Structure 1
Amino acid sequence: MINNNLFVFFLLSFFLSKICTCLYVTDGSSIILENIGTKYKLFSTDMKWGTGSGNQLVVT
C-alpha cells in the first residue's frame, strides 16, 4: 500500500524536476532523490518510510 505522503512527495518532485534540470532532496546527511535527465533514483538510506537501508528505486 502506498503512503499518501510518499505519493505527494513523488508528485511534487516530478513537477519540480520539470522546472529544474537537476533536483536534489536531502535529509541533511545524504541525497534522497536525484534527478538526472529522465531517470529518477530514490535513496531510502535514512528515511523512516523506507523499506530498508541501501534500497534504490529507479524509474525510467
Structure 2
Amino acid sequence: MRFTSTPRGARLARHLVAVRLDAWGIPYGTNDHDAIVLIVAESPSCRVDGERRAARQRPRP
C-alpha cells in the first residue's frame, strides 16, 4: 500500500501496522506490538516532516 506524505497518511500507516500485527498473533497492548508500531511509524512520520521542511524552503513565485 502507498500512503501520502501527510499526517493522515502516517496515521493510516500506523493503523494498518497495528491491525496486521494483531492478525499475525502479536496482540494489541503488548510490549512487542507497541514497540513494532512505534518503529514502523517513525518512517512515515519522518517523511511528513521532511515534506513540510521542503515546502517551507521552496522559493515563492
Structure 1 length normalisation: TM-score?
Answer: 0.31
More strand, by proportion: 1
Structure 2 length normalisation: TM-score?
Answer: 0.31
Which structure has more relative contact order (CA 8 Å, sep 6+)? It is 2
Q: Which structure has the larger Rg over C-alpha atoms?
A: 2
More helix, by proportion: 2
